[in-house]
Amino acid sequence: MINKDYIQINRIKRLKLILPTIALVIILILIFQSINFDMRPENSNNKSIISDQPEEGVLKPSMLGETSSGQPFELNALKASPLGPGLQDIKLENVSIVIGVNPLEKISINSRSAKYFAKSNIAIFFDDILAKTGNGYDFIAQVVNVNLDTGFTFLDGPVKGSKGDILFNAGHVEIHERGNKIFISSGVELIIPSSFLNKESKGQ
């Protein structure tokens, strides 16, 4: 007669062999499912919306990032379409970008059209451009280049600008250090109202 303890021991040994095998199968199934999940057409559809249907494009895209000086930026558009194969370079419609958090150091740009180039991380704005700085400057320009790595902003002219009652026209404007430094160059015309000069003379 076979001892009951002997049978029990054999069952335990078999379970020790079977359980790890079952666990291994479950792990393999989970890994396979996770791979399938990552490869679902959901992700590839996002790419094909732009690459396979460039005329339709993507509606209301958004891009968040940070410059090398730690200034966050947010770029939004009504529509985005690829400039070429893949998603490296993109053209945008009805675009806005805001750089910075501090209200006095913010730079905002709005335009009807823009292009984003991934390799250089530069956005070029054109068509009905309005640009503002947090310290009170307003600009109307033909083309604006924004380096999203450094935050450096270059406005190409003719550029019309103002700060309060002071108006100016120029060929180029450079915005450095979050708007703390602004350089106006190339055919600068400054219009200062007499009321401003009178205020200055009274202050002295």
Identify whether the C-beta of residue 147 lies closer than 8 Å to the C-beta of residue 163: no
Computed over every residue of the chain, the mean pLDDT equals: 76
Residue 38 has pLDDT above 70, yes or no: no
Most confident stretch, 17-21, 25-29, 58-62, 98-102? 98-102
The neighbouring-strand residues paired with 189 are 169
Please indicate whether residue 175 or residue 40 has the higher confidence score (pLDDT).
175
Over residues 141-155, the pLDDT tens digits come to 999 999 998 889 999
Residue 48 has pLDDT above 50, yes or no: no
Please indicate whether residue 106 or residue 50 has the higher confidence score (pLDDT).
106
How far is it, in rounded angstroms, from Cα 58 to Cα 56?
7
Residue 123 has pLDDT above 90, yes or no: yes
Residue 31 has pLDDT above 90, yes or no: no
pLDDT of 49 reads 30
Helix intervals (H) in the chain: 4-38, 41-51, 194-203
Residue 117 has pLDDT above 80, yes or no: yes
Q: How confident is the model at residue 41 (pLDDT cuts 50, 70, 90)?
A: very low
Give the CATH H-level superfamily of domain 55-203: Lipopolysaccharide (LPS) transport protein A like domain (2.60.450.10)
The domain spans of the chain are 1-39, 55-203
Q: Mean of the pLDDT values across residues 108-114?
A: 96
pLDDT of 155 reads 95
Residue 124 has pLDDT above 90, yes or no: yes
Is residue 96 classed exposed, middle or buried when 0-12, 13-18 and 19+ CB atoms within 10 A define those classes? middle
Burial 21-60 (b: 16+ CB within 10 A, else e): eeeeeeeeeeeeeeeeeeeeeeeeeeeebbeeeeeebbee
pLDDT of 93 reads 94
Q: Mean of the pLDDT values across residues 44-62?
A: 53
Identify whether the C-beta of residue 137 lies closer than 8 Å to the C-beta of residue 179: yes
Q: What are the tokens at 55?
A: 């005329």
Which three-class secondary structure state does DSSP give residue 135?
coil
How far is it, in rounded angstroms, from Cα 202 to Cα 80?
53
